[in-house]
């Protein structure tokens, strides 16, 4: 007896509706008309003999069974994408679309210099970039909405494959008349006594800076936190304290327009920059090649 199975298109419609909770927005995300998406979902429910979506005039809800089907549908769609990626990777490397997530403490300092070089080396590669915090990028990665993420390591994500590409040392930034400006090197005890300004919770740079400099949290200055590295720089320039910056940001001119000075941190404290992708992905060699291209001398 022949068993009729859901199509990938039907599963994609269901996942899109679960994510957007709106027929119009889900249809737009699938590049389909609303009537086509609605008909596809009705066909899916008829095929399975179950109600997956609760439809009301004001909102869209997934039934408990619908939520379970959505989770399995995501796995099926990721598997189908991995098959396509495997075939593509077997041919010409770094061509076609690649969805790359990047954290905000790397993106503005690396990509402006790296992307033109990458474009010359691999003109058939179409990068789709997404900038966000690490946790949200990894969630999108696990859901199949991203192919690979450029982030700071270490990060607790055992379900992902990672490769380290570079070290990015931390330096202290402070006003020229600050007592620490007279030091040739800044130690952990120096930082523990300083009014140290850091990024707000959610930025992995915060934890990496504390760990690299062997500082336990909380530290002095935690009542004042920045939302970005640029904000931190302006706060330090206004005399509110000192901060730790990745050398990558300093070399790209984040201190331009201020009189702030930098000093190295003892112990060569640094964050590690690397790529992360799903272990099930067939494009690991491509991602490694991408990393080498982004950080080539």
Report how far residue 170's alpha carbon sits from residue 288's, in angstroms, rounded to the nearest whole number. 25
pLDDT tens digits, residue range 47-78?
Answer: 999 999 998 777 888 999 999 999 899 888 88
Report how far residue 150's alpha carbon sits from residue 134's, in angstroms, rounded to the nearest whole number. 9
The answer on pLDDT for 268 being more than 50 is yes
Contact 129, 111 (CB under 8 A): yes
pLDDT tens digits, residue range 227-238?
Answer: 889 999 999 999
Contact 228, 199 (CB under 8 A): yes
Sign of CA dihedral 287, 112, 108, 184: positive
Report how far residue 252's alpha carbon sits from residue 250's, in angstroms, rounded to the nearest whole number. 5
The answer on pLDDT for 213 being more than 60 is yes
State the pLDDT at residue 70: 92
**Residue matched to tokens 């404290």:** 269
Residue from 289, 274, 273 nearest 98 by CA? 289
**Residue matched to tokens 């640094």:** 270
Predicted TM-score of the model (pTM): 0.73
**Residue matched to tokens 């419609």:** 13
State the pLDDT at residue 75: 85
Residue from 117, 113, 110 nearest 131 by CA? 110
Report how far residue 282's alpha carbon sits from residue 88's, in angstroms, rounded to the nearest whole number. 9
CATH 1.10.10.10 in the chain, residues? 8-87
Residue from 237, 241, 232 nearest 258 by CA? 237
State the pLDDT at residue 105: 92
State the pLDDT at residue 1: 39
The answer on pLDDT for 216 being more than 70 is no
Query: What's the average model confidence in pLDDT over 253-261?
Result: 95
For the domain bounded by 94-166+272-294, which CATH number is listed? 3.40.190.10
Stretch among 20-24, 93-97, 203-207, 234-238 having the lowest mean pLDDT: 203-207
Instruction: Domain 8-87: state its class.
Output: mainly alpha
CATH 3.40.190.10 in the chain, residues? 94-166+272-294, 168-269
Percent of the chain with pLDDT over 70: 92
- 2 pLDDT band (50/70/90 cuts)? very low
Query: What's the average model confidence in pLDDT over 177-195?
Result: 88
Query: What is the CATH architecture of 168-269?
Result: 3-Layer(aba) Sandwich (3.40)
């Amino acid at each position: 007896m022949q068993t009729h199975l859901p199509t990938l298109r039907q599963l994609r419609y269901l996942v899109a509706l679960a994510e957007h909770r709106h027929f119009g927005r889900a249809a737009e995300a699938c590049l389909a008309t609303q009537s086509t998406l609605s008909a596809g979902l009705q066909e899916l429910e008829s095929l399975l003999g179950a109600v997956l979506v609760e439809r009301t005039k004001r909102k869209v809800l997934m039934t408990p069974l619908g939520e379970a089907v959505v989770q399995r549908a995501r796995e099926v769609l990721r598997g189908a994408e991995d098959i396509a990626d495997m075939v593509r990777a077997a041919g010409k490397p770094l061509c076609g679309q690649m969805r790359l997530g990047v954290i905000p403490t790397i993106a503005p300092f690396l990509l402006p210099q790296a992307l033109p070089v990458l474009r010359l080396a691999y003109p058939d590669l179409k990068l789709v970039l997404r900038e966000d915090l690490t946790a949200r990028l990894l969630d999108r990665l696990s859901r199949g909405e991203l192919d690979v993420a450029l982030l700071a390591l270490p990060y607790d994500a055992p379900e992902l494959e990672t490769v380290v590409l570079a070290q990015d040392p931390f330096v202290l930034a402070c006003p020229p008349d600050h007592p620490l400006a007279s030091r040739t090197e800044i130690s952990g005890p120096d930082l523990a006594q300083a009014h140290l300004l850091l990024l707000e919770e959610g930025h992995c740079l915060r934890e990496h800076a504390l760990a690299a400099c062997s500082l336990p949290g909380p530290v002095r200055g935690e009542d004042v936190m920045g939302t970005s590295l640029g904000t931190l720089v302006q706060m330090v320039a206004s005399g509110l304290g000192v901060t730790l910056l990745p050398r990558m940001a300093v070399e790209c001119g984040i201190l331009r327009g201020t009189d702030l000075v930098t000093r190295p941190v003892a112990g060569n404290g640094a964050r590690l920059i690397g790529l992360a992708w799903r272990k099930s992905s067939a494009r690991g060699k491509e991602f490694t090649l991408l990393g080498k291209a982004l950080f080539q001398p």
